[in-house]
């Protein structure tokens, strides 16, 4: 059901080498284009093995998403469609909801749920999928259940999933139905590397629901659970209106969920606006993100800190304020002069509406932060007889912050990007990225004039134009950027959807594009291949 809700918005709103400008750092292998319904799109790149990739596609129903369908697909190493099977969600004369299909330790598993209105139980099932036939094997096995007696089906709970860094533990988490005046409750089920149960626990948060919001769940290699959340001074709906009213808190559930340890994360004099969390093999906690001055919700700089899991003390901490060069590096000359003048006069200059997307841990102990400016505007206008409302989606500059192995922030830079669309949910917007050795590669739809922009002019991407261009921005270990054309959308016969593209190996990225009925995959191989980094992502 989660797939349907997220994909309906996008859809309702919205082995050949192609002749193209070539990039010396990459090779691109295009699969053959194939035709699909205009109501179809890619939902997920599930995983890969030596035979190719496994994907999930979605076709929206005609009326408000009714009778929407999912299809499991396999593409060979040449990115050509090898097999496709529509997923049958009927079981014992009842229809289940697809929760997730995962590729875990080289096996495919399907999670489905079914809420029984008579028994008031929402059950989660797991079923292995045969990689050759793409069909489920055996009977569904129940792995979790939510009793929602006394509540409506709308309050029957929801399921989420997370794997540990070493892929030996798999977490199923779900919120339990409760009244608004009660403490929020959750259930945890931890499975082993073969998806067999290890332990389960239901917990009650030490806060009321309207005063605490869980942002992220993590499971470490030992099967311990971590919740990153925000404690609010007032109700959650009042957050980010005027003064900030929340602080970050980490809740660690160890000893099979019976032992709770709370880790407050604060930096005196600074308000932490966004945070990513990673768990090191020794169970120490890495927190990184953006901060602002106290009393504001914009971002003024970035921070990085490590918490000792036993003492709760900060063992490493670094802060970097975004200076004049950073704030002006993507501005036109005239705007840069005005901004620097304001800074020299002591004016407070901060950035707004940036989301923290990725925390990338390096094997040398360092890390990289990646964020993107994203916001939505709704515009209503009338001609005297009718009123029309348009929704505008903005996906703009990317922020990259590098932290060295000592925990010091070495540099921060912006990648200039402008993407503005109307009533489409940002279907072709945002970026995809690959981490290859000590370099980062960002790929997104752009305007060809931005390859050599004029001093005071930068163009928003235009996917409707025949000149629509996909670009590659390389960021090296020193923060130096190189922007080059990757291919023309017209040559590829599709427009890429960066949000669903996926890095499948340490030097390979799968790209998916569609235009009208045309769908197509490509595999991009980066020549600067080396050992991979680990990525902790929210996309």
**Has residue 68 got a pLDDT over 80?**
yes
User: Model confidence at 528, in pLDDT bands (50, 70, 90)?
Assistant: low
Tell me the pTM: 0.89
- Which long-range contacts does 248-251 make (Cβ < 8 Å, 24+ apart)? 248/272, 248/275, 248/287, 249/212, 250/226, 250/277, 250/285, 250/287, 250/307, 251/205, 251/226, 251/227
Q: Which pLDDT does position 296 carry in this prediction?
A: 64
* pLDDT digit string, tens, across residues 321-361: 998 778 877 777 777 778 777 767 666 777 888 999 999 98
Specify the number of domains making up the chain.
1
How do beta strands 469-475 and 439-446 pair? antiparallel
Q: Which pLDDT does position 134 carry in this prediction?
A: 98
506 lies in a domain?
yes
505 lies in a domain?
yes
Q: How far apart are CA 500 and CA 502, in angstroms?
A: 6
Q: How far apart are CA 81 and CA 132, in angstroms?
A: 13
31 lies in a domain?
yes
User: Model confidence at 16, in pLDDT bands (50, 70, 90)?
Assistant: very low
Q: Supply the range of the domain harboring residue 522.
A: 18-39+419-527
CA 524, 527, 531, 532: dihedral to nearest 10 degrees?
A: -30
Q: How far apart are CA 478 and CA 471, in angstroms?
A: 21
The residues near 337 (Cβ < 8 Å, ≥ 6 apart) are none
Please compute the mean of the pLDDT values over residues 510-527 and round it to a whole number: 96
**Has residue 96 got a pLDDT over 70?**
yes
Least confidently predicted of 173-187, 279-293, 341-355: 341-355
Class of residue 298 by CB neighbours under 10 A (exposed 0-12, middle 13-18, buried 19+): middle
| Residue 492 near residue 20 (C-beta atoms within 8 A) | yes
* pLDDT digit string, tens, across residues 214-236: 999 999 999 999 999 999 887 65
| Residue 227 near residue 217 (C-beta atoms within 8 A) | yes
Alpha carbon of 521 to those of 42, 132, 167, 368: distances in Å? 10, 20, 27, 28
**Nearest one of 266, 44, 249 to 161, comparing CA atoms:** 44
Q: Which pLDDT does position 452 carry in this prediction?
A: 81
Q: How far apart are CA 246 and CA 212, in angstroms?
A: 9
Please compute the mean of the pLDDT values over residues 165-183 and round it to a whole number: 88
**Has residue 185 got a pLDDT over 60?**
yes
Please compute the mean of the pLDDT values over residues 384-393 and round it to a whole number: 91
435 lies in a domain?
yes
**Has residue 21 got a pLDDT over 70?**
no
* pLDDT digit string, tens, across residues 112-134: 999 988 899 999 999 999 999 99
Q: How far apart are CA 81 and CA 72, in angstroms?
A: 11
User: Model confidence at 390, in pLDDT bands (50, 70, 90)?
Assistant: very high
Backbone CA torsion sign across 494, 495, 501, 507: positive
User: Model confidence at 15, in pLDDT bands (50, 70, 90)?
Assistant: very low
538 lies in a domain?
no
User: Model confidence at 446, in pLDDT bands (50, 70, 90)?
Assistant: very high
**Has residue 418 got a pLDDT over 80?**
yes
**Has residue 148 got a pLDDT over 80?**
yes
Please report, rounded to a whole number, the percentage of residues in the chain having pLDDT higher than 90: 65
Q: How far apart are CA 368 and CA 479, in angstroms?
A: 11
449 lies in a domain?
yes
Q: Which pLDDT does position 297 carry in this prediction?
A: 65
**Has residue 416 got a pLDDT over 50?**
yes
Please compute the mean of the pLDDT values over residues 491-513 and round it to a whole number: 96
Q: Which pLDDT does position 419 carry in this prediction?
A: 96
Q: Which pLDDT does position 17 carry in this prediction?
A: 35
User: Model confidence at 210, in pLDDT bands (50, 70, 90)?
Assistant: confident
E strands within 255-386?
259-265, 270-279, 285-293, 301-307, 314-321, 354-361, 367-382
Q: How far apart are CA 111 and CA 128, in angstroms?
A: 9
Q: Which residue has the higher pLDDT, 80 or 67?
A: 80
274 lies in a domain?
no
Most confident of 177-181, 211-215, 530-534: 211-215
Alpha carbon of 302 to those of 189, 403, 475: distances in Å? 34, 10, 18
Q: Starting from the edge strand earliest in sequence, which strands make up the sheet with 141-147, in order? A: 97-104, 107-116, 121-129, 141-147
**Has residue 213 got a pLDDT over 60?**
yes
Average of per-residue pLDDT values in the chain:
88
| Residue 257 near residue 225 (C-beta atoms within 8 A) | yes
Please compute the mean of the pLDDT values over residues 358-367 and round it to a whole number: 86
448 lies in a domain?
yes
């Amino acid at each position: 059901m989660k797939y349907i809700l997220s994909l309906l918005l996008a859809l309702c709103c919205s082995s050949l080498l192609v002749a193209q400008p070539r990039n010396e750092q990459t090779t691109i292998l295009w699969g053959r284009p194939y035709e699909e319904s205009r109501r179809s799109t890619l939902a997920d790149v599930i995983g890969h093995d030596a035979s190719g990739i496994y994907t999930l596609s979605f076709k929206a129903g005609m009326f408000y998403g009714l009778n929407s369908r999912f299809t499991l697909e396999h593409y060979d190493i040449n990115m050509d469609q090898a097999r496709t099977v529509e997923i049958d969600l009927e079981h014992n004369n009842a229809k289940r909801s697809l929760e997730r299909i995962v590729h875990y330790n080289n096996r495919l598993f399907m999670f489905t749920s079914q809420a029984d209105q008579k028994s008031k139980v929402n059950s989660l099932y797991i079923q292995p999928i045969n990689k050759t036939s793409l069909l489920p094997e055996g009977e569904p096995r129940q792995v979790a259940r939510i009793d929602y007696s006394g509540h409506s089906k709308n309050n029957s709970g929801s399921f989420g999933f997370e794997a540990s860094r070493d892929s030996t533990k798999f977490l199923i988490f779900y919120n339990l139905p409760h009244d608004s005046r009660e403490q929020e409750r959750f259930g945890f089920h931890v499975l082993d590397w073969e998806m067999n149960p290890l332990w389960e626990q239901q917990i009650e948060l030490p806060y009321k629901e309207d005063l605490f919001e869980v942002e992220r769940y993590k499971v470490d290699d030992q099967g311990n659970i971590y919740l990153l959340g925000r404690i609010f001074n007032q109700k959650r709906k009042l957050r980010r209106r005027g003064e900030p009213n929340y602080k970050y808190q980490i809740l660690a559930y160890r000893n099979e969920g019976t032992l709770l340890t709370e880790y407050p994360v604060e930096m005196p004099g600074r308000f932490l606006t966004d945070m990513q969390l990673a768990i090191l093999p020794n169970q120490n906690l890495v927190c990184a993100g953006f901060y602002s001055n106290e009393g504001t919700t914009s971002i003024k700089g970035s921070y990085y800190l490590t918490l000792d899991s036993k003492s709760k003390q900060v063992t490493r901490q670094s802060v970097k304020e975004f200076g004049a060069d950073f704030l002006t590096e993507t501005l036109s000359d005239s705007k840069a002069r005005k901004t620097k003048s304001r800074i020299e006069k002591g004016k407070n200059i901060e950035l707004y509406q940036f989301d923290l997307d990725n925390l990338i841990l390096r094997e040398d102990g360092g890390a990289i932060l990646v964020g993107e400016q994203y916001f939505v505007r709704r515009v209503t206008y009338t001609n005297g007889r009718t009123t029309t409302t348009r929704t505008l989606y903005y996906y703009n500059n990317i922020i990259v912050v590098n932290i060295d192995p000592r925990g010091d922030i070495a540099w921060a830079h912006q990648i200039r990007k402008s993407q503005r669309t109307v009533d489409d949910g940002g279907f072709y917007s945002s970026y995809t990225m690959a981490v290859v050795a000590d370099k980062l590669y960002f790929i997104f739809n752009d305007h060809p004039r931005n390859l050599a922009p004029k001093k005071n002019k930068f163009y928003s991407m235009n996917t409707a134009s025949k000149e629509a261009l996909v670009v590659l921005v390389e960021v090296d270990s020193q923060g130096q950027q190189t922007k080059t054309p990757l291919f023309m959308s017209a040559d590829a016969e599709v427009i890429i959807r960066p949000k669903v593209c996926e890095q499948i190996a340490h030097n390979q990225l799968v790209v998916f594009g569609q235009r009208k009925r045309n769908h197509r995959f490509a595999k991009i191989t980066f020549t600067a291949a080396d050992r991979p980094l680990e990525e902790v992502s929210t996309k």
